[in-house]
């Protein structure tokens, strides 16, 4: 079964998503939204008591293969939300939640079995003897701009065109069909301990940046109180530099989602991507605190 004392393989994560669906047949729906280059399913779990009416919150993890704390956190958020569903406050229950626990399953399996520090997906490229596109440089926003590479061997290779990758394409199509009431797009990464909001592809803030900054401040204050960990709330380009093709910017630019955050989980570099399992629980709780604060802000 599922627990947060260690990292899990893809099958255990998918089995957990199926378990939640089986336990909540009336409000949970499991979608296979597409397949990867290596033929793995890309799975989204929706939780909703009223999908037509309620505002939607999208949560994804595992865009980058080596950031294992991200799928661990997204599954924990799902668990935390559902473990006492009946007694959750209205602002949590009266939402439609989408969980894509692992956006890059090929990369995740590759990182777990072959190369721990693998980042991209595993698409073969025709022009070079290299594999993989950085899915967070492959979305159709500032794709041809700064912060990504045209070299298939680079870790930030943007791909041959926007949404050239199945993972990008099926996520973009799934979300575009559901943009009505889509109020939050949360994407979990590591590492750095930050909560950041658009833009990343240009050195400009979104026009309602003050609102996004305020909600991010609330989240990082609550994290500091609860676990003592210090996170930074900021606009993306100021702390991470300019980079085009990100899923966060795309959800704002293409779909008009208001609460768009990339959460860089622990740590600040001591272990980096190889965060020891003993830190999973508290880090995942920090991820939950962000999701909870955003849901509350939307209510
Ligand atoms: O560079 C990234 O894709 C993210 N950092 S990571 O170390 N997890 O790779 C930051 C994403 C910020 N948003 C955009 N660049 N759009
Ligand atoms: Zn990342």
Question: Could you tell me which of 95, 79, 101, 92 has the C-alpha nearest to residue 285?
Answer: 79
DSSP, collapsed to helix, strand or coil, labels residue 193 as coil
Closest atom of ligand 1 to 189 CA is: 8
227 within domain boundaries: yes
Contact between 46 and 178 (Cβ < 8 Å): no
178 within domain boundaries: yes
pLDDT for residue 112: 98
User: Cα(63) to centroid of ligand 2, in Å?
Assistant: 6
Best residue among 60, 63, 64, 155 to mutate for probing ligand 1's pocket (most ligand atoms within 8 Å of CB) is 64
Closest atom of ligand 1 to 242 CA is: 15
Question: Could you tell me which of 30, 36, 38, 41 has the C-alpha nearest to residue 167?
Answer: 36
Has residue 175 got a pLDDT over 90?
Answer: yes
CB 246 near ligand 1, within 6 Å: yes
Best residue among 200, 205, 275 to mutate for probing ligand 1's pocket (most ligand atoms within 8 Å of CB) is 200
CB 236 near ligand 1, within 6 Å: yes
Q: CA 143 to CA 18: how far, in whole Å?
A: 35
Domain span including residue 50: 10-190+200-298
pLDDT for residue 50: 98
- Number of domains the chain contains: 1
User: Cα(39) to centroid of ligand 2, in Å?
Assistant: 22
Q: Taking ligand 2, which is a single-atom ion, which protein residues have CB atoms under 5 Å away?
A: 64, 67, 189
Extract the tokens encoding 70. 């991200």
User: Cα(244) to centroid of ligand 2, in Å?
Assistant: 14
pLDDT in tens, 85-97: 999 999 999 999 9
pLDDT in tens, 115-169: 999 999 999 998 789 999 999 999 999 999 999 999 999 999 999 999 999 999 9
Least distant ligand from the CA of 147? 1
CB 148 near ligand 1, within 6 Å: no
Least distant ligand from the CA of 136? 1
ipTM greater than 0.90:
yes
User: Cα(49) to centroid of ligand 2, in Å?
Assistant: 31
Contact between 283 and 74 (Cβ < 8 Å): no
pLDDT for residue 127: 79
2 within domain boundaries: no
Confidence of residue 68 (pLDDT cuts 50, 70, 90): very high
pLDDT for residue 128: 82
pLDDT for residue 160: 97
User: Cα(194) to centroid of ligand 1, in Å?
Assistant: 11
pLDDT in tens, 246-283: 999 999 999 999 999 999 999 999 999 999 999 999 99
Has residue 82 got a pLDDT over 90?
Answer: yes
3 within domain boundaries: no
CB 243 near ligand 1, within 6 Å: yes
Query: Which pTM was predicted?
Result: 0.99
**In this structure, what CATH number is given to the domain that contains residue 220?**
3.40.630.10
Q: CA 217 to CA 225: how far, in whole Å?
A: 12
- Bridge partner residues of 140 (DSSP): none
pLDDT in tens, 182-228: 999 999 999 999 999 999 999 999 999 999 999 999 999 999 999 99
137 within domain boundaries: yes
149 within domain boundaries: yes
Question: What residues act catalytically?
Answer: 264
Extract the tokens encoding 299. 């209510």
Closest atom of ligand 1 to 196 CA is: 12
DSSP, collapsed to helix, strand or coil, labels residue 235 as strand
CB 189 near ligand 1, within 6 Å: yes
135 within domain boundaries: yes
1 within domain boundaries: no
């Amino acid at each position: 079964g599922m627990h947060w004392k260690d990292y899990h393989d893809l099958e255990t994560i998918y089995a957990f998503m199926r378990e939640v669906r089986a336990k909540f047949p009336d409000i949970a729906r499991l979608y296979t939204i597409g397949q990867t280059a290596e033929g793995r399913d890309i799975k989204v779990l929706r939780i909703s008591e009223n999908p037509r009416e309620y505002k939607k919150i999208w949560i994804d993890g595992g865009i980058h293969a080596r950031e294992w704390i991200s799928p661990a956190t997204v599954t924990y958020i799902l668990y935390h939300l559902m473990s006492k569903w009946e007694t959750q406050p209205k602002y949590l229950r009266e939402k439609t939640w989408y969980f894509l626990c692992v956006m890059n399953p090929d990369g995740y399996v590759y990182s777990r079995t072959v190369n721990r520090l693998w980042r991209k997906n595993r698409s073969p490229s025709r022009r070079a003897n290299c594999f993989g596109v950085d899915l967070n440089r492959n979305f159709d926003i500032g794709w041809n701009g700064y912060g990504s590479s045209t070299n298939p061997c680079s870790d930030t290779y943007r791909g041959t065109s926007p949404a050239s990758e199945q993972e990008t394409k099926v996520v973009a199509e799934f979300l575009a069909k559901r943009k009505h009431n889509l109020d939050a797009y949360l994407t979990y990464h590591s590492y750095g301990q930050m909560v950041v909001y658009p833009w990343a592809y240009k050195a400009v803030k979104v026009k309602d940046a003050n609102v996004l900054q305020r909600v991010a401040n609330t989240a990082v204050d609550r994290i500091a109180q609860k676990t003592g960990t210090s996170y930074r709330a900021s606009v993306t380009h100021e702390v991470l530099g300019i980079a085009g093709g990100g899923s966060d910017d795309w959800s704002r630019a293409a779909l008009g989602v208001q609460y768009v955050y990339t959460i860089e989980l622990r740590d600040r570099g001591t272990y980096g991507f190889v965060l020891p399992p003993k830190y999973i629980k508290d880090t995942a709780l920090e991820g939950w605190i962000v999701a909870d604060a955003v849901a509350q802000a939307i209510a």
